[in-house]
Structure 1
Amino acid sequence: MLRFTTVACAATLSLALISGSALAGDLVHVTDITGRDVEVSVPAERVILGEGRQIYFAGALDTDAPFKRVVGWRDDFKKADLDGYNAYLERFPEMEKLPTFGGMKDGTFDVEQAVALKPDVIIMNIDAKAATEESGYIEKLAKVGIPVIYIDFREKAMENTDESMRIMGKIYGKEERAEEFVKFRQEQLARVTDVLAKAGDIKRPLVFVERAGGYSDDCCMSFGGENFGAMAEIAGGVNMGTEFIPGTFGTVNPEQIIASNPDQVVVTGANWELYVPGGNWVGVGPGADLDKSREKLAALMNRPAFTDIKAVKDGNVHAIWHQFYNNPYQFVAIQQMAKWFHPDLFKDVDPDATFKELHDRFLPVDYRPGYFVSLNDK
């Protein structure tokens, strides 16, 4: 249950009712990713990001000034993606002064602080929906004219990404920009799906995707049929975790990995120095030292679950930026996995070039390679 101090919050709510939240424009009805009909003042000028990593899509809409309408955000970006955070910090030092929040799911979101910031809207990831509704905050915030909108780039990313971008385009008054992004995303996905469709009945490798390998000593977190599991399938692989994990996220035991003997292993990683200092995670991401990342990836393959499997023997072991699992850039990861799984079919696809074009056209920071590494890299 989220913290709610009755007297203090009641006073804050009363003050907000008197002063009103900052209405930026016309009130319009927006259908969020859960199907809720929500009235929002657009274009919103004061926005709270329910997760710091939502700047990944916010920055694609407000490319020149991604923080101009952000009045507060969750405190996860720096811890979950330190290299990405620092890239934004170099360009936008003012972001360190933004008020930060805890999360809805862990009960540390401060609703009084949120109300005091007078946002036009609060953007929440769909995975926070149950905690948000159980706390009653949807109703409490609605009483002071603060709507909550759910979007999704994580739970059913391949199904909900385009619509989530369109929702944000409407809220930001950037509908044409959002549609331009969606068009680019669809074109880049087609560079994989069209080739595979034309190739017909090809051998699809069995792929084990390890979620955050080395983050802890446990083995092994993975994905079911969504998120990276779906990306592996779209890229022309067979996701091993789909058979054993009924939901989006779960765990596969080491004995099952040995028994399944996957053809390819993909480990997700990022710079998690603030979460697990000196940990065994593979620090891929913007500007990563790929020689060091490759060494850490090789070390992870010394665990009993991996030493004798086909993927390791053949050198088909890779690491990929974990944050592709929670932003609208998944098509880059799909291109890279397709190139790993079917190198002959995708000789002409350059995921680094695709990601650079995305940065050049849409994102507020420059592209820095370092998002992918393989044990068989020359």
Structure 2
Amino acid sequence: MAGATLLPLATAGATAQGTATLTDIAGRQVRARLPARRIVLGDGPLAYVVALLRPDDPFTPIVGWGDNFRSADLGGYLAYRQRFPTIDRIPTFRGSNVGAIDIELAISLEPDVVVLNLSSRAAAESSGLVARLARAGVPLAYVDFRTRMFENTRRSIEIMGEVLGEPVRAQSFLQFRQRQIDRVMAPLRDLGHRPSVMVERAAGLYDDCCLSYGDGNFGELVRAAGGDNLGSHWLHGTFGTLHSEQVIAADPEVILVTGADWRLYSPTGDWVNLGPGADPSEGHARLRRLMQRPAYRTLAAVRRGRVHAIWHPFYDNPYYFVALQKVAKWLHPERFATLDPDATFRELHARFLPVAYQPGYWLSLNTDS
């Protein structure tokens, strides 16, 4: 196995399966056969949670998943495929919208449980997925690593620990996570000035500027990192769009864009390729082009080099505390002079994950870090 010594799996392959009840992140009582031996992940990137809790054999219980693990994060998917080639054989559902799930296929896979992100709940209900699963006797559990990442990640990891029969490992990760969050929270207790931050979601993936975040998700993360999220002043939901004129008038002190390996979405787009092993020289070139768009080219942040790009999948991923450390260091370099987010991510991989760490998850306009 790649990386350093992993924490032992609690009772992998040995825990007897029985019917149990868990409370999901929506507060629903879910009765299911646990630990689950057949799982459908409505959102493919939930694979990152499974890998965390079952590093020796993460994908054997996955009988179906959304194809957006591959399409929305190709670099990450390929890193796992190199270690676990059989993931290409897992049945997939097209699209990242849960409404696109083939309900008949999901039922035919005979899952012990279907796991969905809480942000998909409305779509799951309106598409008929919830009702059809209930009629077929297939349990459905919600988790949330996206909408309220700080509030809901702990319970969501505990839920996945119950689903996979790995409660001890779940708690070990949560203890590590909290220690890393505390390394940011403590130095910010006496914080005065909060730099204004413009976060552009998936910059360059779409023609229009500027997709952003309200109080949730990366907006919540920026606030926790000691920043003032621009989108929070105008956007009332987790996600939304800011006009170029709003960005220009606000003249934010810091610009942050998210990016990933989106070759399968937009082969010719100017999105910043970030993720394991991503080429920083290519990323810098794309980031410079993005900063020539009307919303940014006159801003002081661009002139001063306070422009950064970070891996988009942190936005629905339990590893977001690594992004918290990096953003805090960008916003308050003096307070976090000794904090090393790269070392944190390396330790996470070495202790908990089955693939080796590769740099490439962030860059700045004028430097690689």
TM-score, length of structure 1 as denominator length: 0.91
| Secondary structure of 1:368 counterpart | coil
Show the counterpart of 1:89: 81
Judge conservation of contact 2:329–2:337 (CA < 8 Å) in 1.
yes
Superposed counterparts of 1:344-355, under 5 Å: 344-355=334-345
Partners of 1:104 and 1:331 lie apart in 2 by 24
Partners of 1:315 and 1:177 lie apart in 2 by 41
2:110 corresponds to 1:118: yes
Show the counterpart of 1:285: 275
Partners of 2:61 and 2:149 lie apart in 1 by 25
Judge conservation of contact 1:126–1:152 (CA < 8 Å) in 2.
yes
| Secondary structure of 1:107 counterpart | helix
| Secondary structure of 1:119 counterpart | coil
Gaps of 5+ in 2: 1-14
CA RMSD across the alignment: 1.4
How far is 1:86 from its partner? 0.5
2:68 corresponds to 1:76: yes
Gaps of 5+ in 1: 1-22
Superposed counterparts of 1:40-51, under 5 Å: 40-51=32-43
How far is 1:66 from its partner? 0.8
Judge conservation of contact 1:24–1:45 (CA < 8 Å) in 2.
no
Partners of 2:250 and 2:183 lie apart in 1 by 30
How far is 1:106 from its partner? 6.1
Show the counterpart of 1:324: 314
* Aligned residue among 149, 169, 194 for 2:161: 169
How far is 1:292 from its partner? 1.1
Judge conservation of contact 1:205–1:263 (CA < 8 Å) in 2.
yes
| Secondary structure of 2:237 counterpart | coil
| Secondary structure of 1:168 counterpart | helix
Partners of 1:201 and 1:330 lie apart in 2 by 22
Show the counterpart of 1:107: 99
* Aligned residue among 8, 20, 31 for 1:28: 20
Name the aligned partner's letter for residue 286 of structure 1. Answer: P
How far is 1:135 from its partner? 3.4
Name the aligned partner's letter for residue 114 of structure 1. Answer: A
Partners of 2:296 and 2:128 lie apart in 1 by 46
Show the counterpart of 1:238: 228
How far is 1:241 from its partner? 0.6
Show the counterpart of 1:156: 148
How far is 1:202 from its partner? 2.7
Show the counterpart of 1:358: 348
Judge conservation of contact 1:24–1:41 (CA < 8 Å) in 2.
no
Q: Percent identity?
A: 50
Show the counterpart of 1:5: none
Judge conservation of contact 1:24–1:44 (CA < 8 Å) in 2.
no
Superposed counterparts of 1:158-307, under 5 Å: 158-197=150-189, 200-307=190-297
How far is 1:29 from its partner? 1.1
Show the counterpart of 1:315: 305
| Secondary structure of 1:304 counterpart | coil
Partners of 2:128 and 2:239 lie apart in 1 by 27
| Secondary structure of 2:116 counterpart | strand
Distance 1:105 1:217, change over 3 A: closer
Judge conservation of contact 1:320–1:373 (CA < 8 Å) in 2.
yes
Name the aligned partner's letter for residue 321 of structure 1. Answer: W
Show the counterpart of 1:368: 358
How far is 1:143 from its partner? 3.3
Show the counterpart of 2:12: none
Distance 1:369 1:104, change over 3 A: closer
Partners of 1:105 and 1:212 lie apart in 2 by 17
Distance 1:210 1:135, change over 3 A: closer
Partners of 2:176 and 2:182 lie apart in 1 by 10
| Secondary structure of 1:63 counterpart | coil
How far is 1:107 from its partner? 3.4
Show CA shifts across 1:182-228 (max 9, x none). 1111110000001111xx14321100001011111201000001100
Partners of 1:250 and 1:343 lie apart in 2 by 29
| Secondary structure of 1:40 counterpart | strand
Name the aligned partner's letter for residue 238 of structure 1. Answer: D
Distance 1:24 1:51, change over 3 A: farther
Judge conservation of contact 1:124–1:148 (CA < 8 Å) in 2.
yes
Judge conservation of contact 2:59–2:87 (CA < 8 Å) in 1.
yes
Name the aligned partner's letter for residue 263 of structure 1. Answer: E
TM-score, length of structure 2 as denominator length: 0.93
Greater relative CO (CA pairs within 8 A, separation 6+): 2
Distance 1:216 1:278, change over 3 A: same
Show the counterpart of 1:6: none
Distance 1:352 1:377, change over 3 A: same
Show the counterpart of 1:19: none
Show CA shifts across 1:15-59 (max 9, x none). xxxxxxxx9712111111101111011111111111111101111
Judge conservation of contact 1:50–1:122 (CA < 8 Å) in 2.
yes
Show CA shifts across 1:219-240 (max 9, x none). 1000001100111111111101
Judge conservation of contact 1:83–1:285 (CA < 8 Å) in 2.
yes
Show the counterpart of 1:38: 30
Judge conservation of contact 2:68–2:96 (CA < 8 Å) in 1.
no
